[in-house]
């Protein structure tokens, strides 16, 4: 029986702020090197990378960010495979970015690889109660100019979502995880922000997205 007074073992979350998305993700994964090593420690070193393919560049995983994840996986002895829907050409630039490296490209229905890294964007992330990914990365710009970038990564999707929401000033519904109880690696968390700031478009969010996960921030923007 567990001691109710003992502290639970909480997953580490890497939080990195930078001025470019690739650099932020690369640094976050460097902080989580032990988690990456555990992912490739089984009988199959393959790791499935699942990028976000949204309707715009801001809401999609950039090829440079995918490249940073590929480098990190290769550095620990893994073999990266990327979900890539069948389409003419290379619309997201993933194949061109990974040219010359041992990367497999699989269609979106190929999910036989158990170890996974899910790449979500800060502009459209969602809380995931159960996620088969070994690591979750939430990254992207915090302002419309793209000069302030954040990357949050970890093995627990709820912890990653909680830290991401805190960075964006979003008040999550229900009983959100207290990030002060998490072992954070990298940069310290920012101070609290108002719900008004979270609802602004230059915070990297669309009001329709906020309505689903942050009712307090779903009020129409004055602009």
Residue 201 belongs to some domain of the structure = no
pTM of the model: 0.77
Cα separation, 163 vs 98, in Å, equals 30
Is 63 contained in some domain? yes
Q: How far is the C-alpha of 50 from the C-alpha of 133, rounded, in Å?
A: 9
> Is 55 within a domain?
yes
CA distance 222 to 199: 10
> For the chain, what is the domain count?
1
Domain assignment present for residue 202? The answer is no
Mean pLDDT (the chain) is 76
Q: Bigger pLDDT: 93 or 124?
A: 93
Range(s) of the domain holding residue 149:
13-191
Alpha-carbon distance of 63 to 22, in angstroms, equals 9
Q: Is residue 213 part of a domain?
A: no
On whether the CB atoms of residues 147 and 129 are closer than 8 A, the answer is no
pLDDT tens, residue by residue, 6-64: 455 677 999 999 999 999 999 999 999 999 999 888 777 889 999 988 777 777 899 99
Asked if residue 20 belongs to a domain, the reply is yes
Any domain includes 205? no
Is 204 inside any structural domain? no
């Amino acid at each position: 029986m567990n001691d109710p007074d003992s502290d639970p073992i909480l997953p580490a979350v890497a939080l990195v702020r930078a001025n470019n998305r690739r650099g932020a993700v690369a640094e976050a994964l460097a902080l989580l090197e032990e988690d990456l090593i555990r992912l490739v420690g089984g009988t199959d070193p393959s790791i499935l990378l699942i990028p976000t393919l949204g309707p715009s560049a801001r809401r999609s995983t950039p090829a440079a960010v995918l490249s940073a994840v590929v480098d990190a996986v290769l550095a620990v002895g893994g073999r990266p495979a990327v979900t890539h829907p069948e389409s003419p050409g290379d619309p997201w630039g993933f194949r061109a970015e990974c040219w010359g490296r041992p990367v497999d490209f699989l269609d979106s229905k190929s999910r036989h690889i158990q170890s996974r890294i899910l790449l979500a964007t800060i502009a459209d992330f969602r809380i995931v109660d159960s996620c088969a990914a070994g690591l979750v990365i939430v990254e992207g710009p915090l302002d419309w100019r793209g000069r302030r970038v954040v990357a949050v990564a970890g093995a627990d999707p709820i912890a990653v979502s909680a830290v991401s929401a805190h960075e964006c000033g979003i008040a999550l519904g229900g009983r959100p995880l207290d990030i002060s109880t998490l072992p954070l690696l990298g940069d310290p968390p920012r101070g609290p922000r108002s719900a008004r700031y979270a609802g602004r478009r230059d915070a990297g969010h669309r009001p329709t997205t906020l309505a689903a996960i942050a009712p307090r921030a779903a009020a129409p923007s004055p602009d």
